Structure 1
Amino acid sequence: MGLFLVALGLLAVYLIHFYFIRRRQFPPGPIPLPFIGNAYSFISTPMDTCFQKWKDEYGDIMTFWLGDTPIVSIHDSKVIYDTFVKDADAYIGRQQQRWNELLRPGHTGLLFSEGSLWRDNRRFALQVFRNLGLGRNLMQERVLDDVIALIDYTKKEIKAGTTEFNFFDELDISIGSVINSIEFGYRFSRDDRTEFIRAKKLATEQVKMSGSVMFRTMEQHWEYFRYLPFFRDTYMKVFNSDKEHRAFFGRQIEEHRKHIDLESEEEPTDYVEAFLKHQHKLDKEGVVGHSFSETQLYSALLDLWLAGQETTATTLAWLFIYVIKNPEVQKKCQAELDEFVGDRIVTLDDKVNLNYVNATVAEAQRLCNLVPINVPHRTTRDVEIMGHKIPKHTVIMNQISTVMHDERYFPDAKSFKPERFLDEKGKFYAPPELMPFSVGKRACLGEGLARLELFLFTANALNQLQFGEIPGKPISGERIVAGTTAPAPWVCSITARY
């Protein structure tokens, strides 16, 4: 009886502290449950819908809880730019997510690292991308190789009599080949897709896990939750995912080590080679404590793969769904392509003339709203936002999913209207509220590559191919919300335009 009373007293102290002391330190928001926070809301309602509902109820700054971690969420475009851009250094930190102790070697890599580790390796990654041709014709040629392979394969299937296409699968392997060639120097084969299917499965499972209620609830105390019923299954999924990722990326790194001449003066042809050569150079010079370690390489490869494959392929899948469901958009795109391009391959030189195609890409990014919850930041000092004093080390995010569906910025926001990105002269423009890659110093590292891929795949596929719905097999457009928002499985008809 005595132990019960002690436990009851401790629980009462915890509840009083949680509800009447901790919550009052932050902007208002939905009422959390002890220990699990607001994660319970995601069981019956998709994350992006929850955020939109909470934003409507609590305004442009609010607090929600994942487990016992409060997260301040900002939903107003101007406030986002005033904080994450104009005062960027105050929001440059990352939440120290406990799952990273299991999913990667600690807070390494490009997404979750901080301080000099993050700055040095982000700068290095951007330099490698530039050396591999980003911003020059060399990277365009890399991407066009996979664009042409996609179109050639599709036309071959059309000639063979195929009438039903799972186009998402073909986009998937194409985008996967682009990022794989950048990371490891080779493309996936369409004839034997075994390796790609394995790599894709690993990425998809990790993205799905990161969006699950169990995963979010366990975040801060997974080492205890893993012994409880129901939660143990999530722990084992995370454990096995990490094991498989380490095997996949570890094999790639070891294969490179066998064949790379670390003393060679020749320019590296992929990210792993560039990293290993830079690591060797620093070791040879006797630089003590540098950040270019084996663990950092592994985590950076994981981050680049997850961000570079899943997001771009899924955005393109949504784009073609929208184009199929809105045939007048497809006609306008193709009329513009006919006028300025003809039957040749579209390149970046054509971009300036293809205003409607650019607007279609932008509208697909906005409407699909790929990331239901942004990667959390952490304040590096005390700040004040909209009259609320936010203490140092608070987890905070710019919730771009609500911004891009906000009627204040995008009237009739749930409709697909590329024209909203054309000015009175028919020229494409992108307002600041269009922020699919986030904003500030921690905006998406791969934005330049993703924009290149989105334009070249969209313009060339629409120029060479005609897409339609199959009678009796309508595309539902159902949104499956996890770490990213993917469409329900779909098929389409495709015919060749040339």
Structure 2
Amino acid sequence: MMMLEDLFQSYVSVALMVAFICILISFFSRSKDETTEPPGPKPLPLLGNLLQMDLKRIDCSLVDVTFKKYGSVFPVYLGHQKVVILTGYKTVKEALVNHAVEFGEREISPILFDFTQGHGILFANGESWKEMRRFALTNLKDFGMRKQLSEHKVLEECQYLIEVFEKQQGKPFSTENPLSYATSNIISAIVYGSRFEYNDPQFLSMVKRSKERISVVGSTQIQLYNMFPRLFSWTKERQLFLNNRTETVRDVKELITHLKDTLNSQSCRGLVDCFLIRMQKDEEACVKDSQYNENNLIFTVTNLFSAGTDTTATTLRWSLLFMAKYPHIQDQVQEELSRVVGSRQPRVEDRKNLPYTDAVIHETQRLANIVPLSIPHKTSRDVTFQGFFIKKGTTVFPLLTSVLHDESEWETPHSFNPSHFLDEDGKFFRRDAFMPFSAGRRVCLGESLAKMELLLFFSSLLQRFRFTPPPGVKEEDLDLTPAVGFTIPPSPHELCAVSR
């Protein structure tokens, strides 16, 4: 019996020794990269670092002093999900531009997957995303970025917008809806081939739902659903979002059906026509696994409509609010417009002679910072970045707030200061740290179109109107506190547009 016990103990000792040696071998054989993950704040079980953050403005929490001690690359836990944060211009640029492939995938949160199911452009990856992005870029250039064609569309829409502002007769009103309708019509003309009247019920419903989606996605309840989808799938905001999806798909299908019924393969009216023609060709050629299918069409259209409406309209809302807040800056813009443009319509070619106006537009984009977290990325493979190991499939937030408000790049990062974009001679110059459209593989598709719209809408409005606070409200009392959303608009407010 003793011999059996001794033999058993010997086996146990040998097994423990072998296990210990295997652990040592495993530890020492790990690459240096795998043992140098970036340091970050210690997470709590289940909650992660949520107690250290404001879910309404996660970007502000992440640039707070609490997180600054961890440097420009650090992880946080949103619940159980590990997210790597990139801060500062140099770090964000290095990741998105110098390591464009490694940081080029899109993180698709549960709520956004609920909406697109991986179709479209903004919230897609792989071959489908590559093909849809190529297609959208080609057609945006054809229908929306050719100078004469797109400029004509914007200038035409400026007149409709000015009429709406004139009807207010200098009384206080919200600029939100008119600006949304104007920018929506530019992308509608490109996508569908025609604009809508501002009182068209279907158009009003489409714009309303687009704004609703963007607002709901940024809500605290949806943030919690994204972190704990099984626990918070019941939240009313998610149900609202799903209902929104159903109605949006219904309307887009109806518009596509009308275009399909009147399609002329020899003449494309807009992006949808081009997509339908490509669908027909792939069907006739029996192309297997074609990316040109109904789902990709619906959600490519929806992505373009929402992005083309919200970001430009929100930036314009901020620009007019800043003008009312800072009348001395508005004075200088209007003096320059009067001197350079006079009474004729502003044109794109005027930009080179409007350095101060251009600087004001750029400073609006910088300070307003309407997409503070960017749209989250995901690593496509293991990567060593700034000496730290980041695993494939890691969610990454390139924190645009930290770029546009980088204290090492901007003289007065938290103040509205057009001089950020003017040299000593008053000439406009572009700053490298100006990155409101993001960068790299996922840079905004419509950047050049958005720049054109901002210049023409802003200069046309400032040429015709003086923007002031409502009677009894002082300039210094205008609230610059942003609202909550996936993008960051100003809080609800009214302005007066007084004809000049």
The one of 483, 486, 490 equivalent to 1:487 is 490
User: Greater CA radius of gyration, 1 or 2?
Assistant: 2
Amino acid across the alignment from 1:122: R
Identity %: 30
Secondary structure of the residue aligned to 2:63 is helix
Secondary structure of the residue aligned to 1:176 is helix
Amino acid across the alignment from 2:427: K
> CA shift at 1:156, angstroms?
4.4
| Structure 1 unaligned residues grouped into runs of 5+ | 1-22
The one of 95, 101, 104 equivalent to 1:89 is 101
The one of 54, 73, 82 equivalent to 1:61 is 73
* Deviation larger for 461-470 or 433-442: 461-470
Q: Is the aligned partner of 1:98 residue 2:110?
A: yes
Provide the C-alpha distance between the structure 2 equivalents of 1:416 and 1:183, rounded to a whole number of angstroms. 35
The one of 186, 192, 197 equivalent to 1:189 is 197
The one of 62, 69, 72 equivalent to 1:51 is 62
Cross-structure match for 2:24 = none
* Deviation larger for 352-361 or 472-481: 472-481
Q: TM-score, normalised by structure 2?
A: 0.87
Cα offsets for 1:112-154 (capped at 9, x unmatched): 2122211111111011111114132101111111112111332
Provide the C-alpha distance between the structure 1 equivalents of 2:177 and 2:154, rounded to a whole number of angstroms. 17
Provide the C-alpha distance between the structure 2 equivalents of 1:100 and 1:150, rounded to a whole number of angstroms. 32
Q: Is the aligned partner of 1:254 residue 2:257?
A: yes
Cα offsets for 1:181-237 (capped at 9, x unmatched): 2222232323x25333322221122112221232222226524532xxxx4323322
Q: 1:330 to 1:247 in 2, by over 3 A?
A: same
Q: Is the 8 A contact 1:36 1:217 kept in 2?
A: no
Cross-structure match for 2:132 = 121
Cross-structure match for 1:279 = 279
> CA shift at 1:367, angstroms?
0.5
Cross-structure match for 1:145 = 156
Q: 1:235 to 1:334 in 2, by over 3 A?
A: closer
Q: 1:35 to 1:183 in 2, by over 3 A?
A: farther
Cα offsets for 1:403-445 (capped at 9, x unmatched): 1112111122111110110012211112111100001011111
Q: Is the aligned partner of 1:459 residue 2:459?
A: yes
Q: How does 1:33-44 map to 2 (within 5 A)?
A: 33-39=44-50, 41-43=52-54
Cross-structure match for 2:10 = none
Cα offsets for 1:333-367 (capped at 9, x unmatched): 11111111101100011111000011000000000
Q: How does 1:130-209 map to 2 (within 5 A)?
A: 130-158=141-169, 162-190=170-198, 192-209=199-216
Q: TM-score, normalised by structure 1?
A: 0.88
> Matched residue pairs, number?
463
* Deviation larger for 375-384 or 215-224: 215-224
Provide the C-alpha distance between the structure 1 equivalents of 2:57 and 2:390, rounded to a whole number of angstroms. 28
Superposition RMSD in Å? 2.1
Provide the C-alpha distance between the structure 1 equivalents of 2:485 and 2:343, rounded to a whole number of angstroms. 39
Q: 1:93 to 1:251 in 2, by over 3 A?
A: same
> CA shift at 1:312, angstroms?
0.8
Provide the C-alpha distance between the structure 2 equivalents of 1:36 and 1:275, rounded to a whole number of angstroms. 45
Cα offsets for 1:269-327 (capped at 9, x unmatched): 12211111111122223322111111111111121122111111011100111111111
Q: Is the 8 A contact 1:63 1:72 kept in 2?
A: yes
Cross-structure match for 1:6 = none
Q: How does 1:382-401 map to 2 (within 5 A)?
A: 382-401=382-401
Secondary structure of the residue aligned to 2:110 is coil
Q: Is the aligned partner of 1:211 residue 2:218?
A: yes
Secondary structure of the residue aligned to 1:296 is helix
Q: 1:199 to 1:83 in 2, by over 3 A?
A: same
Cross-structure match for 1:17 = none
Provide the C-alpha distance between the structure 1 equivalents of 2:165 and 2:452, rounded to a whole number of angstroms. 21
Provide the C-alpha distance between the structure 2 equivalents of 1:37 and 1:255, rounded to a whole number of angstroms. 50
Q: Is the aligned partner of 1:288 residue 2:288?
A: yes
> CA shift at 1:44, angstroms?
6.8
Q: Is the 8 A contact 2:56 2:220 kept in 1?
A: no
Q: Is the 8 A contact 1:94 1:376 kept in 2?
A: yes
Q: 1:382 to 1:486 in 2, by over 3 A?
A: same
Provide the C-alpha distance between the structure 2 equivalents of 1:399 and 1:470, rounded to a whole number of angstroms. 35
Cross-structure match for 1:8 = none
Q: Is the 8 A contact 1:70 1:395 kept in 2?
A: yes
Cross-structure match for 1:112 = 123
> CA shift at 1:25, angstroms?
7.3
Amino acid across the alignment from 2:421: F
Q: 1:253 to 1:131 in 2, by over 3 A?
A: same
Amino acid across the alignment from 1:247: R
Provide the C-alpha distance between the structure 1 equivalents of 2:370 and 2:399, rounded to a whole number of angstroms. 12
Amino acid across the alignment from 2:493: W
